[in-house]
Homo-oligomer: A and B are copies of this chain.
Amino acid sequence: MNDNDLFDHASIAPFFMAESLAVIGASSDPHKYGGRPARWARLGGFRGRVYPINPGAAQVQGMRAYPSLAAVEGTVDCAFIAVPAAAVEDAVRACAAKGVRAAIVITAGFGELGEEGRARQERIAAIARAAGMRMLGPNCMGVINFARRFYPTFLTLFRGDEDPAPASGSISLVSQSGAVGGHVYELGRARGVGFAKWITTGNQADVQVADCIAWFAQDPQTRAIMVYMEGSPDPGRLLRALRLARQAGKPVVLLKSGRSQIGGEAARSHTGALTGSDAAFDGLCAQTGVHRARTIDELVDVALATTHGRYPARAEVGMVTVSGGVGALMADYAEELGLAVPALPASAQRRLLEVFPHGSARNPVDPTALWAQDVSVFGHSLRALLDEGGHDAVVIFLSVAGTIPVLRDRILEQIVPVCEEFPGRLVVISMMGSAEVLAAWREKGFLMYEEPRRALEVVAALARFGARVVRAKALPPAPRVPGSLRVLPRGRLGEHEAMDLLERAGIPFAPRRLAVSRLAAERAAAGMGFPVVLKLASPDIAHKSDIGGVILGLTDRRAVGNAHDLVLRRARKAAPGAQLQGVLVAHQIQGGVETIIGASCDPALGPVVMFGIGGVFVEIYRDVAFRVAPISPREAREMIGDIRGYALLAGARGRAPADIQALARALSRLSVFAAANADTVRGIDINPFIVLERGRGACGVDALVEFVEK
């Protein structure tokens, strides 16, 4: 199915585009939640119709009030419901009867309160569903469409009667939490972020964060998307919505809480225990080019950066600084953030050093204290970086210059004309200054951040957006999930059954054979070539090596025969009642890099694949990458590169590069298998999965497959 087909954009539209708004529970007190939408409509100048519904008043804030929704003559596109929890159900019913297309329920006291509240919430959702009406909330803060001055929200948008209508911009925000939505709105406004749309989803009984992202993806006024979320009731939907945003070339900046509680679980190494983990969500973000912010600050600052629509073509940066010390810090940050700091061409350096002989002209360019006497150094430096340096992105650190009026104006006179010579380049300024000064410089076309590290973080984020979203080719279609891969759930499989099953799904394993006698074991070993490893085969004994049930490095037939007898003897002694199927004889793989690949059904994200470097790396360093299944080999390749241990595969310290192609193929196939059996697979671990030298392939050596019990 096409991702777009999943979403009913037309049904979401009235939340933003309604021509008429009813306020159920409209209050004459403009400070009460129910009094605000009418007040905002009046102050902002909404051009549609507003119908206050209040059975006890003929007028509300100077507008004609209606005793009931039914009493309204015309059609009502959107209703804002601000009545006590006990009255919400009737209000929703009235909306359904009136043919309202979009109902906003701000009232709290539903699903967030537990079982009984959830039941009431499900009842109102069912009423809406039956009527073909979409519902936002309950327990949300409403919606804003800034361009249309449509404010069905109780967010404090106007403080006084004289406040102008909030400016309209290019970024849209969806926040599950109303309070976070309001906070981000205010922070953004203070930093000059112009919003296009703003929506809060609250308890998400119907409309989810994903629906809003998908709608923004097709909204022409929205050029970038901000998201705050806690969890997603339908993660497949979220994935598809983020894919739509990526396909539309719209950067998404996302903040999600719940990182650590679950992050703690990631300490346990099994794929199963890692499900629902924050690392899996990181995988989803990587997969869709989303910038996952760590703080509210970062969410706003990175979103602000998208407003210029300039995305550097390369992950590199030119820098000018009024402090050599800060220049050194900025070079540190650039390297940490993966931004190259190429030196200016020698000719350009020579020219600059004629202007400031005691400075540094390499990059970062440091004109030394001379700048305080001769601001022309800024024009020269910036031009050199944009022209000979060819930089798409330049960061200028001006320290306290913004606090000294005379100086800052003279610097502006230097750099603005240079920027005009090179339109489309990104110039980011890091300086101290009042909110007004920073706003004035933003007006001139600069991105402004006080902290130099943030300036560089933003350049790095924009370069990533450029490569992964804005200029990214359309995603390859997700791999086909053939029905033939579906298998019947059977609880936990024995090791050899697990390997056979996964081999049929296209994942390579080391040659091996189940042998039911000493002779069979010897013959199997001779047939596959020494050395071999011999393992007890028993569905009843989980930790075979603990009872001496695994013997490595057998190099001849006699050794194999003896090992066969020994292993069975040990098993009979250690677990007298256990079913013994014989021994598994397997060719022992020499060399290679031990990785772990796995799959599971994440309670939040559905089927996921996992990749890590083997053993304690996963356990201690949490160095794993996830993707929502299925993924193509190309996506798997990107995933492999996401972990720090990748260096081991790439050929660190004189090692030969590993067969990453073969690994990517196996990951993709495992993901397809997991997707085909999403409802029945509990967990798959192929550990170790050994990746040999490039061209020599990769193969699993052990496998664990567990299905849900019937």
Counting from the closest, the 8 A-B pairs by CB-CB distance are A177-B325, A179-B323, A257-B328, A260-B335, A180-B325, A260-B332, A259-B332, A297-B451
Copies of this chain per assembly:
2
The answer, yes or no, to whether A147 is at the interface (CB within 8 Å) is: no
Docked-complex contact A332 and B647, CB < 8 angstroms? no
Q: Which residues of B contact A176 (CB under 8 A)?
A: 325
Docked-complex contact B336 and A260, CB < 8 angstroms? yes
Docked-complex contact A324 and B369, CB < 8 angstroms? no
Contacting B at CB under 8 A, from A436-486, are 450-453
Apart from A259-B336, A295-B452, what are 12 other A-B pairs with CB-CB below 8 Å? A108-B369, A109-B358, A156-B404, A179-B326, A182-B399, A183-B323, A183-B326, A255-B329, A257-B328, A257-B331, A260-B336, A267-B647
Once bound together, how far apart are the Cα atoms of A325 and B178, in whole Å?
Answer: 9
Once bound together, how far apart are the Cα atoms of A333 and B333, in whole Å?
Answer: 22
The answer, yes or no, to whether A113 is at the interface (CB within 8 Å) is: yes
**25 CB-based A-B contacts, threshold 8 Å:** A108-B358, A108-B368, A156-B404, A176-B325, A179-B323, A179-B399, A180-B323, A186-B403, A228-B325, A230-B325, A230-B328, A257-B329, A258-B332, A259-B332, A260-B333, A261-B332, A261-B335, A263-B335, A295-B453, A616-B645, A617-B617, A617-B621, A619-B647, A620-B644, A621-B644
The answer, yes or no, to whether A547 is at the interface (CB within 8 Å) is: no
Docked-complex contact B369 and A326, CB < 8 angstroms? no
The answer, yes or no, to whether A653 is at the interface (CB within 8 Å) is: yes
The answer, yes or no, to whether A196 is at the interface (CB within 8 Å) is: no
Minimum C-beta distance from A400 to chain B (A): 5
Once bound together, how far apart are the Cα atoms of A112 and B357, in whole Å?
Answer: 12
The answer, yes or no, to whether A355 is at the interface (CB within 8 Å) is: no
Q: In the complex where A230-B328, A257-B325, A620-B644 touch, is A183 in contact with B432 (Cβ < 8 A)?
A: yes
Once bound together, how far apart are the Cα atoms of A652 and B264, in whole Å?
Answer: 14
The answer, yes or no, to whether A294 is at the interface (CB within 8 Å) is: yes
The answer, yes or no, to whether A159 is at the interface (CB within 8 Å) is: yes
Q: Which residues of B contact A526 (CB under 8 A)?
A: none
Give per-residue flags for A159-203: 1 if the beta carbon is below 8 A from chain B beta carbons, else 0: 100000000000000011111101100110010000000000000
Q: Which residues of B contact A613 (CB under 8 A)?
A: 620
Contacting B at CB under 8 A, from A667-690, are none
Once bound together, how far apart are the Cα atoms of A647 and B618, in whole Å?
Answer: 13
Once bound together, how far apart are the Cα atoms of A620 and B403, in whole Å?
Answer: 44
Once bound together, how far apart are the Cα atoms of A268 and B654, in whole Å?
Answer: 12
Once bound together, how far apart are the Cα atoms of A453 and B296, in whole Å?
Answer: 9
Q: Which residues of B contact A432 (CB under 8 A)?
A: 183, 186-187, 190
Give per-residue flags for A257-284: 1 if the beta carbon is below 8 A from chain B beta carbons, else 0: 1111101100111000000000000000
Give per-residue flags for A635-655: 1 if the beta carbon is below 8 A from chain B beta carbons, else 0: 000000000110110001100
Once bound together, how far apart are the Cα atoms of A336 and B263, in whole Å?
Answer: 9
Centre residue among A255, A621, A623 by max chain B CB count within 10 A: A621
Once bound together, how far apart are the Cα atoms of A312 and B297, in whole Å?
Answer: 26
The answer, yes or no, to whether A534 is at the interface (CB within 8 Å) is: no
Give per-residue flags for A308-352: 1 if the beta carbon is below 8 A from chain B beta carbons, else 0: 000000000000001111101101110110000000000000000
Once bound together, how far apart are the Cα atoms of A336 and B260, in whole Å?
Answer: 7
**Residue in contact with A258 in the complex, picked from B112, B268, B328, B434, CB distance below 8 Å:** B328
Q: Which residues of B contact A325 (CB under 8 A)?
A: 175-177, 179-180, 228, 230, 257
Minimum C-beta distance from A38 to chain B (A): 19
Once bound together, how far apart are the Cα atoms of A450 and B326, in whole Å?
Answer: 24
Minimum C-beta distance from A139 to chain B (A): 9
Q: Which residues of B contact A326 (CB under 8 A)?
A: 177, 179-180, 183, 296
**Residue in contact with A452 in the complex, picked from B296, B323, B647, CB distance below 8 Å:** B296
Q: Which residues of B contact A175 (CB under 8 A)?
A: 325
Docked-complex contact A616 and B108, CB < 8 angstroms? no
Q: Which residues of B contact A335 (CB under 8 A)?
A: 260-261, 263-264
Docked-complex contact B156 and A399, CB < 8 angstroms? no
Centre residue among A176, A264, A296 by max chain B CB count within 10 A: A296
Once bound together, how far apart are the Cα atoms of A625 and B328, in whole Å?
Answer: 24
Give per-residue flags for A588-628: 1 if the beta carbon is below 8 A from chain B beta carbons, else 0: 00000000000000000000000001001101110100000
Q: Which residues of B contact A260 (CB under 8 A)?
A: 331-333, 335-336
| Closest chain B residue to A616, Cβ basis | B648
| Closest chain B residue to A190, Cβ basis | B432
Q: In the complex where A179-B323, A326-B183, A620-B644 touch, is A294 in contact with B453 (Cβ < 8 A)?
A: yes
Q: Which residues of B contact A113 (CB under 8 A)?
A: 358
Contacting B at CB under 8 A, from A228-277, are 228, 230, 255, 257-261, 263-264, 267-269
